[in-house]
Chain A
């Protein structure tokens, strides 16, 4: 088997057997899923430190850095309102279109930025992966954490907009927390999925902007969700309305606003959201874990 027998000639049994008899482990062995999860948990401080480092590296240490976190969603909302609320007027019969629009833009933006940053999380840190040994899932998870921070800033803006546009504060607002929690898990799964996919098939990175744009148009971000029911029906409508982003956006609108017309009943939306969260969260994690040992290859 070994063509180059340069090793110690006094080893009778094969080298692999020798390794096994001394309890050496194979370099690059894939740990089992529970073991991997435990490792990941023991690296939680690294994940937090890496997420913090990413924030401070991107914002710099300036005071305005933090202000931008609030300013960016505000500017986004303003631009979309100008185009879709005033110029094209897609609001149809939605009472409080500005709050409706902002909820869509911010919630979609949360997932969108996780996908964008997640797609880079392996390729941009390849040198670190080759140099240090840590569970690779730390990187996409840190990306997701960074975006949670940005999301909290945009939720502050959103709540302010909702209040300023005259929506009452109700107990239903509390539903915002589980809805965002589900979306965060969904996003993390998506970041894990995308980062492995792109580390293997780099071409897909070129397509991500287009995929995200199509996804946004299908998520009733810029126009009311009733837009779909008026134009398509049957399985097509069912397909559009099973879109996880549409579901998460609907849940947030339902939580914060009175008198919004939902695609389906709220309990059904919650059920669908939970299914998507488990499916994508767990599926993305398993998919990423199975590639754990190949990320250094680049």
Chain B
């Protein structure tokens, strides 16, 4: 049966470590101290490591929508970033994916000083669209985001947007493109109920277009409505992987303990 299903994302013993430089004592950042460190080849005073994802393995298949749950700081965002190829995986393991996975996060950066329209243009170009495609898609993206529902906001700088509006615009940009693998990190949470419905529908559509979707959300309802499979990550380790109902039940008993 495994032969008929086409795997799209495979994690094989993936370890991800953040290294934080700095957080040094005052004075240690003076030019002289810097020079000394560079000359002696020593690493910056304090290098601390955070082992955020520990030996994670799973296989995701085409047409699946997978919910990723876990308490804050359990490594969900980190895992998604690594799947997207934005964070390197430590030696001895690896993450493999079909095509180029796209990550859609709460702080998917756009330029705050620029108008919504320019951000749409920039974001689409950064996703690899051609200028002609951008021109064709831009009105639809702004329409879907609904930022113009209350006046002409698309020509105002993004810093004048509420956080919900900015999140909606970001989602609309990312959802404008077909993705083999789409990774959504709490991006639907900030929108209002109406937008959430619309975007969940969009997620289902994207999935039907033969992709795989990973969804991080703190809304159980969102996970239940969109994902038939879930992975529970805790302190960087997979605690459960299976049908959403079973995994959510296990997770609930853990959280309410």
Contacts and interface: CB of A to CB of B under 8 A. Distances in A.
Interface of A: 1-8, 10-11, 14-16, 18-20, 22-29, 42-43, 45-46, 49-50, 53, 56-57, 125, 127-134, 201-204, 206-207, 210, 293-294, 296-298
A120 to B, nearest CB: 15
Given A2-B12, A201-B38, A204-B34, 20 more contacts: A1-B13, A4-B56, A4-B238, A15-B12, A15-B57, A16-B10, A22-B98, A27-B82, A27-B83, A27-B89, A27-B95, A28-B87, A28-B88, A57-B113, A131-B105, A132-B123, A132-B127, A133-B128, A134-B128, A203-B37
Contacts of B96: 16, 19-20, 24-27
Given A28-B88, A133-B86, A16 B111 contact: no
Contacts of B125: 43, 45-46, 49
Contact of A133 (B9, B19, B102): B102
Q: Which of B6, B30, B125 is most buried by chain A, counting CB atoms within 10 A of its CB?
A: B125
Given A14-B12, A131-B108, A296-B81, A24 B98 contact: yes
The interface centre, meaning the residue of B44, B57, B98, B122 with most chain A CB atoms within 10 A of its CB, is B57
B227 interface: no
B247 to A, nearest CB: 11
A27 B238 contact: no
Nearest to B130: A45
A3 B100 CA distance: 28
Nearest to A138: B126
Q: Is chain B's interface secondary structure helix, strand, loop, or mixed overall?
A: mixed
Contacts of B111: 53, 57
B6 A22 contact: yes
Nearest to A52: B118
A207 to B, nearest CB: 6
Contacts of A14: 12
Contact of B85 (A8, A50, A210, A293): A293
Q: Which among B84, B126, B128, B238 has the greatest number of chain A C-beta atoms within 10 A?
A: B126
Interface string B33-61: 01101100000100000000001111100
Interface of B: 1-2, 6-13, 18-19, 21-22, 29-31, 34-35, 37-38, 44, 55-59, 81-89, 92-98, 100-103, 105, 107-111, 113-114, 118, 121-123, 125-128, 130-131, 237-238, 240-241
Contacts of B110: 128
B250 to A, nearest CB: 13
Contacts of B81: 130, 296
A46 to B, nearest CB: 4
Contacts of B21: 202
Given A46-B126, A127-B109, A24 B7 contact: yes
Nearest to A21: B7
A28 B95 CA distance: 8
B149 to A, nearest CB: 25
Nearest to B16: A297
Contact of B103 (A125, A131, A293): A131
Interface centre among B12, B93, B123, B238 (most CB of A within 10 A): B12
Contact of A2 (B1, B55, B97, B127): B55
Contact of B94 (A26, A43, A202, A204): A26
B184 to A, nearest CB: 12
A47 B91 CA distance: 32
A7 B95 contact: no
A45 B10 contact: no
Contacts of B44: 202-203
A215 B86 CA distance: 36
Given A14-B12, A131-B109, A296-B87, A210 B31 contact: yes
Given A3-B55, A8-B2, A131-B108, A297 B87 contact: yes
B2 A11 contact: yes
A19 B10 contact: yes
Contacts of A23: 98
A42 B107 CA distance: 26
A207 B34 contact: yes
B114 A53 contact: yes
B237 A4 contact: yes
Given A4-B238, A7-B58, A53-B122, A133 B114 contact: no
Contacts of B1: 10
A134 B240 CA distance: 34
A25 B100 CA distance: 9
Q: Find the residue from A4, A22, A132, A210 having the highest chain B CB count within 10 A.
A: A132
16 contacts: A5-B57, A7-B58, A23-B98, A27-B101, A28-B89, A43-B128, A50-B122, A127-B107, A131-B108, A132-B127, A203-B34, A204-B38, A207-B31, A207-B35, A293-B88, A297-B87
Nearest to B42: A203
A136 B182 CA distance: 21
Contacts of A26: 94-96
Contacts of A294: 88
Contacts of B18: 297-298
